[in-house]
Structures are given as C-alpha cells and as structure tokens.
Structure 1
Amino acid sequence: MNQRRLAMMRLMDSRHKFTARELAERFDVSMRTIQRDLDALQEMGFPLYTEVGVNGGYRVLPNRILPPLQLTQQEALGLFMMLEYLELVPDFPYGSIREHLAEQYFSTLPSDVQERIAGLREHIAFMQHPGDHHDSLTSELLTAAVEKKAILFMYNARSGWKKVNVYPLGIYYERGYWYMPARDNDHVLLYRVDRIKQLTVLDQIDESVPTLKAWLKQATHTDGEEVVLQFTEFGERIAASDVIFKTVTDQKWSGIVPHSEFAFTARRLLSYGPEVKVISPPELQEQVRTMLEQSVAQYRED
C-alpha cells in the first residue's frame, strides 16, 4: 500500500466527512486518482460509506478497520512474544485480537520473519498457571464500565445464586482471576467475573460512577482486609513460582484479600504445610486452623 493511501486511512479515521474533491486538493492529486484510491481502500476492506447529495461525502463506519501496523522486525518479534504470554490470561477482553494477529497478521510477514518467530516459540515458555476459561464476559463488562451503564446478572455467592444490579467500575486481573469492583448504591463491592452469568447491560447511565483507576488509588478496598503471612526460607522459594504469593519479600507477604476469597486463600495456604503461617487477620487464621482440623479428622480412627 502506498503512503498516500495510508495517510488517507489515518485522515478519514478521524470520523470526519470528506468529499472526493477535498481529498484530491489535500493530497494534490486528480479526482480520478483519489477515486481509484477510495475504490482500492474499499476493496481491501476499509469500511467507507458514501453519503449522496449536495452535502454528501465519504465517512468511515464505526466498527472500522484501522491502518495496518508498521513494525520493525524487533517490534514484530516482541509483539508475538506478548501474544504467547497473553494466551495464559483466560477471558482476555476483546480476545479475538490474539487470533487475528497470530494468524492474519502473521501471514503477511516476510517468510524469514515467520521462520524467526516459529523458532522463538520453540525456545520460550511462560510458566504462569492459567485459570479456567469460561464464557467470556470481560469485553461486555469493560464496555459497560466505560459507558457508565448499569448491569444486571446472576452471581454465585457463598449463600447461593442471587440477582445483582450494579454499576461496574472496570475489571482487573489478579491471582489467575478477573475481578469487577462495582457500585451498589453507596458501596463498592467486589465480584469475581467467572461467577457471573446471564449478564444484561441496561440503559441506565450514572456519570458519577468512578473509574477503576480512581478506586484503586483509595487506601483499601471496601470488601477486603490486609493479610500478612510469614514464610519459612523454603516456603519463600516455593512462593516464588506461585501466581498469588510470588511477591513475598524477606519471607513475608502482605496484601489486600477480599473477604469472599478467604476460603480460597486458606485452601491455597494448606498446600504449603508448615512452610507458612498466617500472622493476621484472625478470621483467616481460624479458617486455616479449621481446615487443618478437618483434614486430620479424616485420618483418626473411629
């Protein structure tokens, strides 16, 4: 594709309307040349549509195809390595980008670059443990958060399934799961996305709903509590490969854990045996102690 057509794609991507004459004057070419350029862009899939009449012109459809990537070889290699890593993140928002780039963009690269990427894939691995894949709702939730729209869904809470009507702030990925802070009246509650089903985005809009970044800047999460753990030297070595506790430093780990995730955290800690101790809070200590007693009880003689 020549540079003029690339420049036309960038110009028209601004969503302004342009007549063929305006484009011809802007690029200092004839009307016939501009028309050939416009026809070529449409043939390659650039979503132009024409408005006829005195005030007519060319516009780009909302779900448009953006100008192609122009990367150096090093940038292309880095891009595909990032895609390899993203394969480990389940339900990634707008996840079709991975398949599109890995297949369609890959096929447009020179053969020597394709061979280089194929060779790199044989010599690199990301050992993060991926979570389970579910029907992806992350794209819809993220869009609803950006548009500040209310959502309605069924949620698998500790007490069973319940109907929830909230305003999402956004989503974030942590410890192998996607989480969604959402405002319910005057409170912000935390939901795990894989426990959501039957999602409906409503028409109600509330411009006062904060962004995820603004909420994260607050001192603590309203539904969480600081957990402090003490690891042994060997426990710290094990934690280094744990997606949850890998940030342990000087044999100590601390972080905000939602109350709803205490049971999950307690089960995770049981796998460390005597290599970790819960310093606080007491509620998590009690959950670990109870689970240990239940485990031992299974081996007691009747």
Structure 2
Amino acid sequence: MNGRKLAIMRLMDSRKKFTARELAERFGVSVRTIQRDLDALQEMGFPLYTEVGVNGGYKVLPNRILPPLQLTQHEALGLFLMIKYLQRVPDFPYGSMREHLAEQYFSSLPQDVQDLIVRMREHVTFIQHPGEHLEILTTEILNAAVDKKEIEFTYHSRNGSKTTRAYPIGIYYDGGFWYMPARHKERVLLYRVDRMQQLRLLDSTDESIPSLQAWFKSEDDREGAEVVLHFTEFGSRLARSDVLFNSIQGNEWRGMVPLEEFPFTARKLLAYGPEVKVVSPAPLQHAVREMLEKSLSQYS
C-alpha cells in the first residue's frame, strides 16, 4: 500500500465523510486518481459507501478497517504471541475475531518472519481454563457496562436459579473465570459469568454506575472483620501469587474481609490445605472446619 492510500485511510477515519474533489485537492492529484485509490481500498475490504446529493460524499461504515501497524520485527513477534495468548483465554470479549486476526496478521508478515514464528511456536504454549464458550455474554456485559445499561439474566447459584436485574460495572478475569461486579438495587454483588444465561439488555441507564477501575479503588463499606492467617513457608510462596493474599508479610496475612465473603474465603483457604491456619476470627475458623468436616464425611 502506498503512502497516499494509507493517508486517505487515516483521513477517512478522522472525518467520516469526504468528497473525491476534497481529497484530490488535499493530495495534489486528479479526481480520477483519487477515485482509483478509493476503488483499490474498497477491493482490499475498506468499508466505503457513497451518499448522493449536495451534501453527499464518501463515508466509512462504523465497523471500519483501521490503518495497519508499523512494527519492528521484535514488536511483530511479541504481538503475534499476545494474539495467540488471547486465543487461549476463554470467552474473551469480541473473541470471534481472534483466529481471523491471527491468520490475517500472520499472512501479512514477510516470509522470513513467518518462518521464524513457525519455529518459535514449537517452543512456547499457553495453558488456560477451557471455558464454556460464553463469549457472547462477556461482550454484551462489557458493552452494557460502557453504556451504563441495565441487564436482565438468569443466574445459577448453590441456592438454585433465579432471574435478576443489575447494572454491570465491568468484567475481570481471575483464576480461569470471568467475574462481573454489578449493582443490584443498592448493593454491589459479584457474579461469575459462566453461571449466567439468557442475558437481555434493558433500556434503563444509570450514569452513577462507576467504572471498574474506580470500583476497585473504592472503599468496601460492607460489615467485616479483621482476618489473621498464618502460612507455612511453602504456603507463603503460594499466597504471593494469589490475588486475594498477595499482600502477605512474612508468613502472616492480615486484612478486612466482609462477613458475607467468609464462605468464599473459607473455600479459598481449603485449597491451601495444611499450609495455612486461620488465627482469627472464630466465625471463619468455624466455616473452614465445617467445610473440612463435610469433605471428610464423604469417606466415613
């Protein structure tokens, strides 16, 4: 692609509508030359259509093709690895484009770089949770969060299934699962996306819904208690890679935990087995013991 066609693409992206004469005057060429450039861009897949009339001209469709990246070889290799990694993250928003993007990007690279990537792929892989193919939900939730729209969905929990409404704050990926914090009435609740079904976008909006980043930084005003945990040396190493306990100091972790999160915290602690002990409070100790007793009862 020559420099003029690339400049035309960038100009179209910034202005949205233009005439062939305007482009011809801008680039110092004939209208016929510009029309040939536009025909070539359309053949490449650039989504143009023509509006007739006094105020008409060429316009780019909303789902337009953006200008190509100009990368060094190291950047090209890094970008390809990032694309391959995203292919392994289950239910990634807009994920249907990942395989297409990888193939299109790979085919546009010089042959020597393609050969290097083929060899490199034999020495690296990404292992992720397989997911349940709910990409459409993560995409719709993310769009609703950006637009501050309310959604309705069926949620499957330990207590059964029910239909609920909430304003999604956003989504985040942790431990192989997507999570959606959302405002339900006056509270913010956390939902696992793979337990959601039959999502429907509603018309109501709420401009007071915070962004996900703002929510992460906000104070948790739920009633809680200070939790003190003592880890073994091995448990401490595990805890430092855990988003919940990575603020551990030495072999001890202290933090405020909402009372309603005690069952979740107890289940997380069970995964550490003998590598952690709940020093306090007593209700969390009881929750851990109760789960252990239920597990042991299966073998009695």
- Shared fold (TM-score greater than 0.5)? yes
* CA-CA distance at 1:294 after TM superposition: 2.7
Q: Which moved more, 1:214-223 or 1:94-103?
A: 214-223
Report the TM-score, using the length of structure 2 for normalisation: 0.88
Partner of 2:95: 95
Unaligned stretches of 5+ residues in structure 1: none
User: Does 2:167 match 1:167?
Assistant: yes
Partner of 1:47: 47
* CA-CA distance at 1:255 after TM superposition: 6.6
Partner of 1:8: 8
Q: Counterparts of 2:22 and 2:77 in 1: how far apart (Å)? A: 39
Q: Counterparts of 2:235 and 2:29 in 1: how far apart (Å)? A: 70
Residue aligned with 1:13, SS: helix
Q: Counterparts of 1:68 and 1:224 in 2: how far apart (Å)? A: 51
Alignment of 1:132-281 (within 5 A): 132-136=131-135, 137-220=137-220, 222=222, 228-239=228-239, 248-253=248-253, 262-263=262-263, 265-281=265-281
Q: Counterparts of 1:130 and 1:221 in 2: how far apart (Å)? A: 33
Residue aligned with 2:53, SS: coil
Q: Counterparts of 1:267 and 1:241 in 2: how far apart (Å)? A: 17
Report the number of matched residues. 299
Q: Counterparts of 1:20 and 1:200 in 2: how far apart (Å)? A: 43
Q: Which moved more, 1:30-39 or 1:71-80?
A: 71-80
- Asked whether the 8 Å contact 1:189–1:223 carries over to 2, the reply is no
1:233 is matched by which residue type in structure 2?
E
Partner of 1:28: 28
Q: Which moved more, 1:280-289 or 1:235-244?
A: 235-244
Residue aligned with 2:124, SS: coil
Partner of 2:284: 284
Partner of 1:130: 129
Residue aligned with 2:18, SS: coil
List per-residue Cα deviations over 1:52-97 (Å, max 9, x = no partner): 1121101100111111222111111111222233344221111134
Q: Counterparts of 1:281 and 1:99 in 2: how far apart (Å)? A: 49
- Asked whether the 8 Å contact 2:84–2:102 carries over to 1, the reply is no
Q: Aligned Cα RMSD in Å?
A: 2.7
- Asked whether the 8 Å contact 1:176–1:243 carries over to 2, the reply is no
Change (3 A) 1:299 1:197: closer
List per-residue Cα deviations over 1:203-237 (Å, max 9, x = no partner): 22222222222222202275987755321012234
After TM superposition, which residue ranges in structure 1, 4 or more long, deviate above 4 angstroms? 221-228, 238-249, 253-265
Change (3 A) 1:15 1:191: farther
Unaligned stretches of 5+ residues in structure 2: none
1:103 is matched by which residue type in structure 2?
E
1:67 is matched by which residue type in structure 2?
P
Q: Counterparts of 2:280 and 2:89 in 1: how far apart (Å)? A: 30
- Asked whether the 8 Å contact 2:87–2:99 carries over to 1, the reply is no
Change (3 A) 1:298 1:216: closer
List per-residue Cα deviations over 1:109-155 (Å, max 9, x = no partner): 1121112122222223445x526333221111000111111101011
Q: Counterparts of 1:252 and 1:7 in 2: how far apart (Å)? A: 58
List per-residue Cα deviations over 1:28-61 (Å, max 9, x = no partner): 1110110001101111110011001121101100
Change (3 A) 1:298 1:178: closer
Residue aligned with 2:123, SS: coil
Q: Counterparts of 1:255 and 1:115 in 2: how far apart (Å)? A: 51
Q: Counterparts of 1:44 and 1:122 in 2: how far apart (Å)? A: 32
Q: Counterparts of 2:51 and 2:108 in 1: how far apart (Å)? A: 33
- Asked whether the 8 Å contact 2:152–2:165 carries over to 1, the reply is yes
